[in-house]
Structure 1
Amino acid sequence: MKHKIFEITIMEKIGLHILKLAFLLISINVFSQNSSSVTNGTITKKIISQYFKNKRTIKILLPEKYDANKNYPVIYTLDGFELFPIASSYVNFLTKYDVIPNCIIVGIYHNNRNYETMPNYGSDIRIPVTEFLEGSGNLKSHLLEEVVPMIEKQYSVSGFNVIIGHSNTATFVNEIISKNENNFNGFIAITPDLLKKQTDYLEKHLSEKQLKQTYYFVSSGLKDDKYRLESGIMLDTIFHNSKNTNFKGLHKIYSAGHLDLVPKSLNDALMFIFSDYKNYDDFNDKVLNSKFSISNYIDQKSILNNKIYGINYKLNEEDFYYLLNLVLEKKDRKLFEQIFEVGEKNKFFNKDDKYASKAQYYEEIKLYDEALKNWKLQIEKGFYKNTFYFERPFILLTKKLKRQKEAIVFLEKAIKKYPEGKLIFNYLIAQTSLKYSLKKNKGIKAIDYCINRFKENNKFSLKDALEIKSNINKN
């Protein structure tokens, strides 16, 4: 059977070229409507929203050392003109001091705020008060179906999303929690205004739905509208009564009005949303378990941070020393050895002073023999730069362990090990001999060396040495 051959005429070819050109022009036109620029580190994007049928402004601030190979939580601020600058400032300082993890901040700018954020107070009887009005419904769709997908496509995100709103947009934040399609984990509502039916709806949602880990912070002002304060109090009751183990809610009241409530509460809000980041508040309870392992405890914290915030967290030096101090309070040798091992593994100790550090911590928990052992190891390993590394174990022997004869022998060996300290060591030998009535001849020999070879130092004067010799001769 012969195959039929189709021939394309010149006119058809021209038609195809025209069609291709038309598609190209459409593509160029659409592309030109979406634009991006960068000013002072802030990325400004202009995008066309299919829900609002107009051009929208989105601003993005990446962490200072943004790395596409790392994942970052994203904080979305509604009321971009108001909340994006202040949220960016607060987040900048909180991340600088590692109070919260590095985050991407996104500002949503409204073209017609009243239309886009008007709460549903039942003015349209056709729309239940638990549903959005047209404008806020478009805002929800714009946020969830246009902005969030765009951010997730273009940047390295962790999957932990936070949304912040104030006044009308705080009410919006509250209403979006109970929507099944919402993909936020943290909610910050600064002075929302809600009907009881709306708070009841939230309570029902929290009791019936299996949530992912969710944090909800609400702030109210004593100088603000009384209905807004009442909304906060209703939400507070819901927070306290909720038995949803994946939900954490906090309501705080401030001596503030409608506007100054933003700066007064936003810092607390951000810290609450990230309250499980580097949270070691349960350490004292966990440590009571006889099978407790500090290394496993820290590993579990890392796993928890990854599970909740989607980030890889590594123990930092400041947190290590915080845990070390908690361990020292327990005065438990086993726990101390565990925490010290963690410090060594993470290289938190100066390698030249490792044993000296360990010795001092042992002294603090009154395990003096272990302390002495580590002072000696510090010297045996060759890490001694001055007389300090010999004086400390000497003081430990004389004052804490009450082994003065051994202390003198220790310093005699120290003279051979560290000749630069001979003057100081001889003075200590003479001083100890006098104080504890030990080996008078050694004491005289040692103080004679100090007098005959005296050099200015910060340990004793020539007058001190002469006085010791006089006292030794009297005994």
Structure 2
Amino acid sequence: MKKFYTLIIFCLVVFNIQAQAIYKSIDSYKLGQERELKVQLPRNYDPESKRTYPLVIVLDGDYLFEPVAGNIDYQAYWEDIPDCIVVGVKQADTREDDLFYAEETSFPIHEGADFYEFMGAELIPFIEQNYKASKFRIIVGHDKSANYINYYLFKDVPMFRAFISLSPDFAPKIADRLTQRLAIIEQETFYYMATADADLKVLRESIVEADSTIKSIENPKLQYTFDNFEDANHYSLVGRGIPKALNEIFSLYKPINGKEYNEKVLTYEGSPYDYLVKKYEDIEYFYGFEKKLIENDIRAIAAASKKKDDLESLENLAKLVKKKFPKSMLSAYYMGMYYEKEGNLRKALIRYKSGLLLEPSQYIDKEIMLEKIYDLQEETDN
């Protein structure tokens, strides 16, 4: 197990070398001082592009930024989650003031209230003015900062859509108020919370108690996930919670896997092609940006169309692929597959041959195209 976690840490370090942090500072009127930030942009970030990226704000950025940024860079590389802009807020010298709340109300006052205003009125506008950030925002906190992120849920329209709360040190009454708020929230919201068997005892008890009430909430707008890790403590649970949280938050974004294929694609009331269209429309709706069609999903929908003998679905897929990838062998391959399934072997052969002049894709290359051509020629000759 130790070797496994060592390998994961090594991978994150190697990947993070490719995405170095940019150090910025923002002169805050609300705080009356400059505040240092760490910013990680996606590897292929283009400031001139129309594309926008989910924004991840990391409190306790002095130590929490690197594990969050490393996990995002790693998972985005494999297309499990989208590229994101990650911003860490350094708080090493101001943590107690930033996260301060009134004992009577459990809500921020004085410096804590100033920091609350700084986040919404200064930090996010600063990021949006300088980088291509989308409206889908995630906030991450640990310990006291995990408690603090909950305050942003109490706005009529929360500025964050996803919350990653790692071993929260709840202010008095906040866990109860959090449950009440999540029960009536009207915006699609992702909420992740984690503790561990060796977490600080006083925190663990309140977290487990909070989970028992939150998980009973019946609100279709809430996607809630809780982890109670074994063989982890207050600090090591961070390394295990972050990838799990990202996994849940971007579950809809993920490529179609075997489970989704069997349980959702094949059982969908409409056609496999309709499922694909809805999946990508939902991604744009939930995350605020259009996901580029990926080859993995094309293969899954083609397989489902063939399995269900849905020729219309396969034709629509082939037309979509041709539109999205006109210079790729993909366009010729799937149009050829459609004509082959239709029984028009002459047209299928023409399509496959035309693909030899196009660019190979991740899975389709010249050898595969030639194999299809030889098979069809043999079949037509007989």
TM-score clears 0.5: yes
In structure 2, distance between residues paired with 1:168 and 1:158: 27
Q: Superposition pairs for residues 286-435 of structure 1, below 5 Å? A: 288=267, 292-347=270-325, 349-350=329-330, 357=337, 370=343, 373-374=344-345, 377-378=348-349, 392=375, 410=381
Deviation at 1:93, TM superposition (A): 1.2
Contact kept in structure 1, 2:37 and 2:87, CA below 8 Å: yes
Contact kept in structure 2, 1:216 and 1:249, CA below 8 Å: yes
SS of equivalent residue, structure 1 residue 222: strand
Q: 1:117 — aligned with what?
A: 99
Question: Which stretch of the first structure deviates more once superposed, 158-167 or 331-340?
Answer: 331-340
| Partner of residue 50 from structure 1, selected from 12, 23, 29 | 29
SS of equivalent residue, structure 1 residue 236: helix
Deviation at 1:282, TM superposition (A): 8.1
Deviation at 1:325, TM superposition (A): 3.1
Question: Which stretch of the first structure deviates more once superposed, 191-200 or 303-312?
Answer: 191-200
Structure 1: tracts of 5 or more residues without a match: 1-39, 363-368, 398-406, 412-475
In structure 2, distance between residues paired with 1:355 and 1:178: 52
Larger radius of gyration: 1
The alpha-carbon distance between structure 1 residues 172 and 246, as it changes in their structure 2 partners (threshold 3 A), is same
The answer to whether residue 186 in structure 2 is matched with residue 207 in structure 1 is no
Deviation at 1:356, TM superposition (A): 6.3
Q: Superposition pairs for residues 166-181 of structure 1, below 5 Å? A: 166-180=142-156
Contact kept in structure 2, 1:78 and 1:169, CA below 8 Å: yes
TM-score, normalization: structure 2? Answer: 0.77
In structure 2, distance between residues paired with 1:390 and 1:208: 59
In structure 2, distance between residues paired with 1:355 and 1:182: 46
| Partner of residue 137 from structure 1, selected from 88, 109, 113 | 113
- Structure 2 counterpart of 1:244, which letter? N
Structure 2: tracts of 5 or more residues without a match: 1-18, 357-365
Contact kept in structure 1, 2:333 and 2:352, CA below 8 Å: no
Question: Which stretch of the first structure deviates more once superposed, 215-224 or 314-323?
Answer: 314-323
The alpha-carbon distance between structure 1 residues 138 and 189, as it changes in their structure 2 partners (threshold 3 A), is same
Q: 1:8 — aligned with what?
A: none
SS of equivalent residue, structure 1 residue 98: coil
Deviation at 1:73, TM superposition (A): 1.2
Contact kept in structure 1, 2:345 and 2:376, CA below 8 Å: no
- Structure 2 counterpart of 1:299, which letter? V
Deviation at 1:293, TM superposition (A): 4.0
Contact kept in structure 1, 2:167 and 2:204, CA below 8 Å: yes
Determine which structure has greater relative contact order: mean sequence separation of CA pairs < 8 Å that are 6+ residues apart, divided by chain length: 2
Q: 1:442 — aligned with what?
A: none
TM-score, normalization: structure 1? Answer: 0.63
Q: 1:225 — aligned with what?
A: 200
In structure 2, distance between residues paired with 1:388 and 1:258: 56
Q: 1:465 — aligned with what?
A: none
SS of equivalent residue, structure 2 residue 215: helix
Contact kept in structure 1, 2:339 and 2:348, CA below 8 Å: no
Contact kept in structure 1, 2:76 and 2:82, CA below 8 Å: yes
In structure 1, distance between residues paired with 2:29 and 2:117: 9
Aligned residues: 344
SS of equivalent residue, structure 1 residue 241: coil
In structure 1, distance between residues paired with 2:334 and 2:281: 29
Question: Which stretch of the first structure deviates more once superposed, 79-88 or 224-233?
Answer: 224-233
Displacement over 6 Å in runs of 4+ = 383-387
Q: 1:185 — aligned with what?
A: 161
Identity %: 24
The alpha-carbon distance between structure 1 residues 391 and 85, as it changes in their structure 2 partners (threshold 3 A), is closer
